Structures are given as structure tokens and as C-alpha cells.
């Protein structure tokens, strides 16, 4: 990793342009199942390129390029995101009650006497000049803000801030906070700043302390937080503000930049840009913050942006501690929206205004949203799990007499002849490689008439064989009487996970399916629930077994399982092992690969899910390591053992 210091700014996550009506049109003749396999294209430009930059609306499920939205998004937003069309339908934000006692408690305002208020008023008086002659131009001093004189108006201003903080799940704080497990206060040393940091003068320090004192007594800056459908929460001046007035200090939790490189927070601010990047600090206002969090950044490298900018973001050495201040850089009229300039670093940002200048491209393996499909409909099903590297996807397909006969070539020699055939749908990147291997296979006389099966393995250049297949035929001794079971396991980083799963996954499925009773009842909801439970239990036991045995604790495996019988076929899978059904000689893919790349809708959902959990993707690999987004095992992604 480069040692050059990094600068973190902020971003906005909403779009402004309306969706072109022509791009919304879809063929009504398509079934829901066909939509699942369609490519996702941008509703603005109509292109399906740059799949990693496509963003799905959580309501209408349509795609948009990050760079096609206005304002441009720097990265995929954390949490739910709605396109401009759906944004208007969201529920209104609950306003904080305009009750003095509640506001006093929320901001922890100190109740002061009249004498102390008089001292504050006297402190605001201008100092008398010591000399009437000026031999040189003096440095302009910072001014404390002038609060609104009307107490009722100040109450409304604080209520607007409380509304925004409550809606974003943050609590009020007007100081930098140092939380255990993050950067300590001793780490905030301005001497580490590359090139040095300017020291706040004694007079300006007094003005800053006066602002802090006024805020503690309920005399807030004359600002109103408003909600804009495009920009979200923004801040407007509620009265005239003079040039060089201290608006507020940027506060929040202090942490090391290297710990937040993959943080997708929308308000991270640079605090200390050290020559040694390991000492660089950032402010994270997601949990504790003040009004500074809701003030917009602006691209001041454009004429329009430079005209809008009315604040400057400056870092000072204040009593041996780095601090970030937002200061008016010109007179600000009442009702004018506030914009500042990203720490004044010389970067040309590709947006009009957004809250993060750097796309901290993150994606991760945690979180799950399995899908259930049948031949005519599809619906989203959500599985919440603390170990959610994986979650099974299950598909159900009705079988008829024409497609219930599976014929695989059975040979008795040891020669392996591989024939690779690729196929894909027109207009889709979804494809499957069908490999026919002329190798020994297993044939059981106990299988039902019309069903034959075979299996083959190919190690290739790997040091050891990491894959395996399991087939359990239906028989009177079989726990699932009337149903056959088959599973394919694709291991990685060792064989231990596959070795465990080939013995235990079937047992967990039998237990969850109540010995086949649920399969016979054909209750799809209960079957789905049972298979999810079986997969979760198997993974939990696998993780425990890997940790206890100490063998290949980084190993993992995909799994694709099948239950077939009574004219029913149930498939559940985790990972990218492909299941294909031959219908009248035509292949049909039954599974959607869990991979963090591509522009298919499922891939985009995986990318979003992974990013929201705090990881990143490099060359199609999660955290630069693994190319699948769901799997059994992979302890390093599910525990804190290796952190």
C-alpha cells in the first residue's frame, strides 16, 4: 500500500434527473422468471456496460450508473437507496417535538443565570484598538457566530437539527470523541501533519471557545436543517452571517484512516494528514455529530461550484490538538444554502455536490438475501444470519414425463476425454460450461426407473483434489424414502471443508426435512425454511470443527444439492457450482452464481450486499482474495480470529 497520505471527503447519495419514460418500458409478455435472467441496464443511458458501477433501486429494482445520476454518486450508498422516481413515495420524516424540555435534554443544554448571560454578552463586545495608526495590514480575526435573538426561533433551529440527527440514528455531540478501540486522544498530534499545521491564534481561540459556550447554553448558530428530496438533509442560513464567522466545528468519533479505508460512511472528514499514513486520522460523525454533518461539500473547481461556495473548511492546531472548523468565506444571506470545500485540498471532483470525493469501493461477504423461484413466479426472501457469508438459494421445478429421464454416459475405461461446450442466452451474459467426461461412473440398481447417474473428478494441476460429489439413492433403507439426493462440493484453500460437508450436510438436510415428511407434503415454505436451517447448522458445525481441529482453517466450499422424486425437483446452492436442466435437449440454468462481479441482476445484488458489510472487490475477488460471495467455511471472513 502506498505510503502517501490519503484525504477523505464526503458525498451525497441522491439523484436529481428524472428517469426517461422510454427506458422504463418492458415487454409485458415476459414472465417473472425471464426477468430474473435479463441483463440489468442503466435507465439513463441504456447501457449495460460498467456492471460494477450499476446501482439497483431497492423499490423498483431498476439499475442506474453511479456516473449517470445527478449529482454523481462517488460510491454505492450504504443501506437502502431509492431512484428519483421512487424517492417521492418514501414516508415523510418525523419531526422532533418542538418542546423546550425535550430539546434541552437532547442537546444537554446548561441552565444559566442572568449574570452569566451578561458576561457572555460583554465577551462579544469588540476590543478597543491599542493604536490608531496601522503601519501594516493586520490579519483578519475570526468572529463568533451571532445567535438569533428570538428564543422561539432558536428552539425551532435546534428542533430541526434534532430531527436530522434522530432520522440518521446519531446523537448530538459538540466535541471530538475518542472511543475505546479507536484512535486515542494522544494520536491527535498536529506535529504529525505533513508540512505542518497552522496554529489558531489566541484571539481566534477565544472566539471558538465563545461559540462552544453559547452552544452549551442553547444559543445555537443561526442555521436551519431542512430536508431536500434531492440532496437529503441540508443546512440553510436563518439570518445574515458575516464573512469570517465561525459556523461550527466538525466533530465526531476520531479513528485512524487505515481502519476506515473501506468504510462507506457518507460523512468521513480528514482530521490529520500525516506524512506517515499509519498516523493519519479521520472524523467519523455517523454515531455522534453536530450540524456540520449536514452541511454540503461543493466542487469549487467549477465556476458554478465556486459561486455557490460560502464556507471554507480549515484545520487548525488548537491547544495541541488538531481541529476542523467551518468558517464563512464571504457574507451569507438569509435562506442561502451552505456549501464548503473539502478541506481545501486541490482535487478536481467529478460532481456538482456530494459527500465523498473518494470512492471507497467496498463490498463484502456478509449479509444475505436469498431468492426463491418457481417456474412462474419469483419473490424476495430475506435470511438474517450473523455468519451470512452464505445463504442457500432454492429453486423448485415441476417435472413431467418428458424431462424426468436423466441419461449420463456410462463408461468403464480410465481414459478422460473432455469436451467443452459453451452456451448463453441471447442478450445475456449468463452462461454455463458443460463438460462431458468419458470416465468411470457409478450406477446403482436401486435407483428408480428412468434415472441414471454418474460422476467424475478432474484434479488438473492442483496439489490436491479439493472437490467431491455425493449421491444417495432412494431405497427402503434411505431416510428420505422416495427421494434421491445428490450434491456437488467445490472446495478451495484445502479439502477439509469438503470432507466435512460430504458427511454432514446430508444428515442436516434429513434432520431438517423431518425424514422426508416435508418433501412428501410439498409445502414449499416449510421446505425452504428447512433447507436454510440445514445449511446454517452445517456451516456452524463446520466452523467449529475447523477451529477445534486446526486443519486448513481457511478452507471453504461451495455446495449445490438436489432432491428429486415424486415428479418434484428441489435445488439449493451456495457459491458458483452450476446446475443445468436439459429440456428436450436444450440446457436451462437453474442456479445463479454467487459472484461479486458481472452485470447480471443477481451479481449486482451480491456486490451491493457485500459492500454494505464493509468489504471491497479487487479484480472480481472479495478483499482481493476469493471470487465467490457465498460459501461454507471460510472462517477468516466469518470470525474475528484473524483480525
Task: Tell whether the model's pLDDT for residue 142 goes beyond 80.
Answer: yes
pLDDT digits (tens, 9 = 90+) for 151-184: 999 999 999 999 999 988 889 999 999 999 899 9
Task: Tell whether the model's pLDDT for residue 316 goes beyond 60.
Answer: yes
Percentage of the chain beyond pLDDT 90 is 21
Task: Tell whether the model's pLDDT for residue 470 goes beyond 70.
Answer: yes
pLDDT at 527: 87
pLDDT at 389: 30
pLDDT digits (tens, 9 = 90+) for 535-590: 999 998 988 888 887 655 788 899 999 888 877 888 888 888 888 888 777 888 88
Instruction: Tell me how far CA of residue 21 lies from CA of 17, 18, 31, 43, 496, in angstroms.
Output: 12, 9, 21, 9, 53
pLDDT digits (tens, 9 = 90+) for 70-116: 666 766 776 677 887 776 666 566 777 777 788 888 888 876 554 44
pLDDT at 450: 60
* Higher per-residue confidence, 116 vs 309: 309
pLDDT at 186: 94
Quick one: average pLDDT of 436-460?
A: 56
pLDDT at 137: 45
User: The domain 100-111+141-344 is classified under which CATH number: 2.170.270.10, 3.20.20.70, 2.40.110.10, 3.30.465.10?
Assistant: 2.170.270.10
Quick one: average pLDDT of 262-288?
A: 84
Strongest mean pLDDT among 262-266, 338-342, 628-632: 628-632
Quick one: average pLDDT of 218-241?
A: 89
Residue whose C-alpha is closest to residue 512's, from 475, 487, 538: 538
Query: What is the residue extent of each domain of the chain?
Result: 100-111+141-344, 371-415+468-638
DSSP string, 304-344: HHHHH--EEEEEEEETTEEEEEEEESS-B-TTPBPEE-GGG
- Alpha-carbon torsion angle 44, 49, 54, 57, nearest 10: 50
Task: Tell whether the model's pLDDT for residue 252 goes beyond 90.
Answer: yes
Strongest mean pLDDT among 120-124, 296-300, 431-435, 590-594: 590-594
Task: Tell whether the model's pLDDT for residue 314 goes beyond 80.
Answer: yes
Quick one: average pLDDT of 202-212?
A: 93
Task: Tell whether the model's pLDDT for residue 641 goes beyond 70.
Answer: no
* CA-derived radius of gyration, the chain: 31
Instruction: Tell me how far CA of residue 516 lies from CA of 27, 190, 398, in angstroms.
Output: 41, 68, 18
Bond preceding residue 231 cis, omega within 30 of 0: no
pLDDT at 345: 40
pLDDT at 322: 94
Instruction: Tell me how far CA of residue 91 lies from CA of 16, 60, 372, in angstroms.
Output: 18, 16, 28
Quick one: average pLDDT of 262-280?
A: 81
pLDDT at 250: 94
Average pLDDT of the chain to the nearest whole number:
71
| Cβ neighbour number for residue 82 with a 10 Å cutoff | 18
Distance between CA 443 and CA 203 in Å, rounded? 90
Distance between CA 440 and CA 361 in Å, rounded? 47
Quick one: average pLDDT of 136-155?
A: 83
| CATH fold for domain 371-415+468-638 | Phosphatase 2c; domain 1 (3.60.40)
Quick one: average pLDDT of 303-313?
A: 84
Stretch among 39-53, 99-113, 367-381 having the lowest mean pLDDT? 367-381
pLDDT at 16: 33
Residues 6 or more apart in contact with residue 449 via CB below 8 angstroms:
none
Quick one: average pLDDT of 457-482?
A: 74
Return the H-helix or E-strand segment holding 632.
Answer: strand 632-633
pLDDT at 17: 36
Residue 231: pLDDT band (50, 70, 90) is confident
Task: Tell whether the model's pLDDT for residue 398 goes beyond 90.
Answer: no
pLDDT at 267: 76
The string over 199-234, giving b where at least 16 C-beta atoms fall within 10 Å of a residue's C-beta and e elsewhere, is: ebeeebbbbbebbebbbeebbbbbbbbbbeeebbbb
Distance between CA 250 and CA 174 in Å, rounded? 8
* Higher per-residue confidence, 425 vs 483: 483
pLDDT at 230: 66
Quick one: average pLDDT of 362-376?
A: 28
* Higher per-residue confidence, 55 vs 229: 55
Residue whose C-alpha is closest to residue 310's, from 400, 378, 261, 242: 242
Residue 347: pLDDT band (50, 70, 90) is very low
pLDDT at 200: 92
* Higher per-residue confidence, 26 vs 301: 301
Quick one: average pLDDT of 61-68?
A: 83
pLDDT at 556: 87
pLDDT at 155: 92
Quick one: average pLDDT of 595-600?
A: 74
Quick one: average pLDDT of 490-516?
A: 86
Amino acid at each position: 500500500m502506498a505510503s502517501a497520505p490519503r484525504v477523505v471527503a464526503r458525498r451525497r447519495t441522491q439523484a436529481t434527473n428524472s428517469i426517461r419514460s422510454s427506458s422504463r418500458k418492458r415487454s409485458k409478455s415476459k414472465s417473472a422468471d425471464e426477468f430474473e435472467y435479463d441483463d440489468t441496464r442503466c435507465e439513463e443511458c441504456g447501457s449495460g456496460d460498467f456492471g460494477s458501477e450499476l446501482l439497483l433501486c431497492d423499490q423498483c429494482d431498476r439499475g442506474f450508473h453511479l456516473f449517470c445520476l445527478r449529482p454523481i454518486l462517488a460510491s454505492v450508498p450504504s443501506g437502502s437507496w431509492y431512484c428519483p422516481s421512487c424517492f417521492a413515495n418514501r414516508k415523510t420524516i418525523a419531526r422532533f417535538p418542538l418542546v423546550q424540555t425535550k430539546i434541552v435534554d437532547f442537546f444537554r443544554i446548561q441552565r444559566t443565570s442572568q449574570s452569566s448571560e451578561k458576561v457572555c454578552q460583554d465577551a462579544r463586545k469588540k476590543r478597543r484598538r491599542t493604536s490608531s495608526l496601522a503601519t501594516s495590514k493586520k490579519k483578519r480575526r475570526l468572529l463568533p457566530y451571532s445567535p438569533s435573538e428570538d428564543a422561539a426561533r432558536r428552539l425551532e433551529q435546534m428542533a430541526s437539527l434534532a430531527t436530522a440527527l434522530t432520522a440518521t440514528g446519531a446523537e448530538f455531540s459538540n466535541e471530538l470523541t475518542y472511543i475505546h478501540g479507536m484512535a486515542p486522544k494522544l494520536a491527535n498530534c498536529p506535529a504529525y501533519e505533513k508540512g505542518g499545521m497552522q496554529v489558531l491564534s489566541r484571539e481566534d481561540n477565544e472566539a471558538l471557545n465563545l461559540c462552544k459556550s453559547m452552544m452549551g447554553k442553547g444559543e445555537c448558530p443561526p442555521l436551519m436543517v431542512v430536508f431536500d428530496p434531492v440532496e437529503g438533509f441540508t443546512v440553510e442560513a436563518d439570518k445574515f452571517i458575516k464573512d469570517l464567522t465561525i459556523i461550527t466545528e466538525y466533530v465526531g468519533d476520531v479513528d485512524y484512516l487505515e481502519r476506515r479505508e473501506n468504510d462507506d460512511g457518507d460523512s468521513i472528514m480528514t482530521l490529520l494528514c500525516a506524512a506517515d499514513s499509519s498516523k493519519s486520522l479521520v472524523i467519523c460523525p455517523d454515531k455522534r455529530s453536530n450540524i456540520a454533518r449536514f452541511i454540503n461539500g461543493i466542487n469549487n473547481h467549477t465556476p458554478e461550484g465556486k459561486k455557490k461556495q460560502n464556507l471554507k473548511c480549515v484545520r487548525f492546531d488548537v491547544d495541541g490538538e488538531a481541529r476542523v472548523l467551518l468558517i464563512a468565506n464571504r457574507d451569507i444571506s438569509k435562506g442561502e444554502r451552505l456549501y464548503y470545500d473539502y478541506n481545501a485540498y486541490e482535487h478536481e471532483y467529478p460532481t456538482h455536490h456530494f459527500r465523498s470525493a473518494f470512492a471507497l469501493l467496498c463490498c463484502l461477504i456478509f449479509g444475505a438475501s436469498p431468492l426463491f423461484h418457481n417456474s412462474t413466479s419469483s419473490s424476495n426472501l430475506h435470511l438474517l444470519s450473523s455468519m451470512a457469508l452464505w445463504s442457500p438459494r432454492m429453486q423448485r421445478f415441476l417435472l413431467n414425463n418428458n424431462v424426468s429421464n436423466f441419461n449420463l454416459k456410462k463408461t468403464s475405461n480410465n481414459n478422460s476425454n473432455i469436451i467443452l461446450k459453451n452456451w448463453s442466452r441471447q442478450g445475456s451474459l449468463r452462461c454455463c460450461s458443460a463438460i462431458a467426461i468419458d470416465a468411470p461412473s457409478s450406477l446403482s440398481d436401486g435407483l428408480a426407473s428412468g434415472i441414471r447417474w454418474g460422476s467424475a473428478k478432474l484434479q488438473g494441476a492442483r496439489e490436491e483434489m479439493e472437490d467431491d460429489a455425493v449421491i444417495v439413492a432412494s431405497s427402503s433403507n434411505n431416510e428420505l424414502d422416495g427421494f434421491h439426493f445428490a450434491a456437488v462440493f467445490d472446495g478451495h484453500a484445502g479439502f477439509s471443508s469438503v470432507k466435512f460437508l460430504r458427511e454432514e450436510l446430508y444428515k442436516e438436510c434429513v434432520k431438517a426435512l423431518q425424514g422426508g415428511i416435508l418433501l412428501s407434503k410439498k409445502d414449499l415454505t416449510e421446505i425452504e425454511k428447512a433447507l436454510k436451517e440445514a445449511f446454517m447448522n452445517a456451516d456452524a458445525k463446520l466452523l467449529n470443527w475447523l477451529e477445534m481441529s486446526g486443519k486448513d482453517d481457511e478452507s471453504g466450499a461451495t455446495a449445490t444439492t438436489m432432491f428429486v422424486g415424486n415428479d418434484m425437483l428441489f435445488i439449493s446452492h451456495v457459491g458458483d457450482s452450476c446446475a443445468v436442466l436439459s429440456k428436450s435437449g436444450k440446457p436451462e440454468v437453474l442456479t445463479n452464481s454467487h459472484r461479486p462481479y458481472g452485470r447480471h441482476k443477481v451479481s449486482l445484488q451480491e456486490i451491493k450486499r457485500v459492500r454494505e458489510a464493509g468489504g471491497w472487490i479487487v479484480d472480481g475477488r472479495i478483499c482481493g482474495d476469493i471470487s465467490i460471495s457465498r460459501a461454507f467455511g471460510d472462517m477468516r471472513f466469518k470470525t474475528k480470529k484473524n483480525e
